[in-house]
Structures are given as C-alpha cells and as structure tokens.
C-alpha cells in the first residue's frame, strides 16, 4: 500500500531492523513493501516501481550488490540507499560505482535514513533552480532532468544528476568535496570524500569525451 510520498521497497533480512525502518518510513508518509531476500526484492522492485529502495548488502539468495547491478544493467535508475553492517570501504565504493545514491552503515538512526530518502527525492522531483544549461557539447535540462552529450542522452542516477547540475551551476567555480556533500547529499561527513570522488568518476565515465569536469588537486572539482 502506498501513501502520499510514494512507495519504498525495503530489502532487509533482519526482521527487527526492517520493522524499525518500516515504522519510521510509514510515519513519514511513505508506503512500504518489505522483502527478506535479494531475489524476492529484485522482483518486487521491478513489479512495484518504487520511488526508492533501501537495500541491505548482506542478503540471502542474491546480495544487495548483485540486486543493484541487475537494476542498473536493465536501465532502472530508481534511487537506492545501501545499508550494511560492514564498514568496509571496498563494499562502500563498489556499491557507489554500481550506481547507488547513498550509503549508511549499521547501526544508524532510522531518522537519518528517512532524511536521506527525502533529500534524494526532493532533489529529484523538486522545482529546478535554473533553466537549461549548455557547456560545449553538454546540455542539462533541470526541469526534465535530462542530460545529453554530443546529442546523445546520458543515463544518470538521481545523485549523479544533482552532482553534475551543481558543478554546471557555476562553470569555472571550484567546489570542495565538503561543499558538494552538503549541496548534493544534504549532509557533510568528513570521512566521505571518496563518495564524491566515486560519483565524479561515474559521471565522467558516462559523459565520455569531451568531458567538462576538472579536478583541482587538493581542493575539489569544477566544470569548465
């Protein structure tokens, strides 16, 4: 059953954690569908087309990494937040490289989870802050959330789109990792600089050449 904010699919095999997540998301106005394993979770995501997915990494049957990989390979760019008990940078970076929008390590506040989901959806569906932007062969339309390069559409996750839009909002300006975390992710975790780096690398790879994103060593990134 969905509510006013849309449906969130939770894929979590620990009942106590899943129940708390469902409680807080329901109280925040989301509908919630819960699955306990990766195979059923993937089927539910494809069937119900949720607005967001809360995806545990360590799942029976099919782990969260494989679920994310399968979704992205099929062109499904639903917002995904990984949650895991393993504070392992390799897992974290692999998830982001596959196209996850955010990442939380257990234990975390369920209020933080709700805030992260709201932040992604607010940026994804909110009013554009400016009109279409063009930089060389690159064009970004914030209203329709469409990006093209050399006339070809570029498929980006919600977070990748917001990151590129932020950089293009002020061509030539250098944004620090902390500024990008605050503006795009809605929070600043001074240990999460690699999160920005991975997303920038993903956007660069998808845009191909010519590529407008420039690294300013020791400072951050800019579009020029």
Domain boundary among the residues 125, 141, 159 is at 125
Cis ω for the linkage preceding 214 (within 30 of 0): no
Please say whether the beta carbons of 92 and 104 come within 8 A.
no
Residue 47 in domain: yes
pLDDT for res 211: 86
pLDDT for res 35: 96
Residue owning tokens 């006013």: 4
Whether 189 and 217 map to the same domain: the answer is yes
Whether 56 and 150 map to the same domain: the answer is no
Tokens of 176: 């620090």
Please say whether the beta carbons of 65 and 93 come within 8 A.
no
Whether pLDDT at 87 is above 70: no
Give the tens place of pLDDT for each residue, 13-58.
Answer: 999 999 999 999 999 989 899 999 999 999 999 999 898 999 999 8
Range of the domain at 219: 133-223
Please say whether the beta carbons of 10 and 32 come within 8 A.
yes
Which CATH number does the domain housing residue 65 bear? Answer: 3.40.50.2300
Domain boundary among the residues 108, 125, 142 is at 125
Give the tens place of pLDDT for each residue, 139-171.
Answer: 999 888 899 998 899 999 888 998 999 899 888
Q: What is the mean pLDDT of residues 8-12?
A: 96
């Amino acid at each position: 059953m969905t509510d006013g904010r849309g449906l969130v699919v939770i894929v979590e095999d620990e009942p106590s954690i899943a129940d708390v997540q469902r409680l807080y998301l329901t109280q925040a106005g989301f509908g919630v569908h819960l699955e306990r394993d990766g195979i059923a979770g993937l089927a539910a995501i494809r069937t119900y087309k949720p607005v967001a997915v809360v995806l545990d990494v360590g799942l029976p049957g099919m782990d969260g990494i494989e679920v994310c990989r399968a979704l992205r390979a099929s062109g499904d760019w639903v917002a995904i937040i990984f949650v895991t008990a393993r504070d392992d940078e390799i897992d974290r970076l692999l998830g982001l490289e596959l196209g996850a929008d955010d990442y939380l390590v257990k234990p975390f506040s369920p209020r933080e989870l709700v805030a992260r989901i709201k932040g992604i959806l607010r940026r994804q569906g909110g009013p554009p802050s400016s009109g279409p932007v063009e930089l060389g062969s690159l064009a970004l339309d914030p209203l329709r959330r469409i990006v093209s390069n050399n006339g070809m559409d570029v498929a980006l996750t919600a977070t990748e789109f917001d990151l590129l839009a932020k950089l293009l909002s002020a061509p030539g300006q250098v944004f620090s990792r902390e500024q990008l975390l605050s503006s795009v992710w809605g929070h600043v975790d001074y240990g999460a600089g690699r999160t920005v780096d991975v997303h920038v690398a993903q956007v660069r790879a998808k845009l191909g050449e010519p590529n407008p994103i420039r690294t300013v060593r020791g400072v951050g990134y800019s579009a020029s």
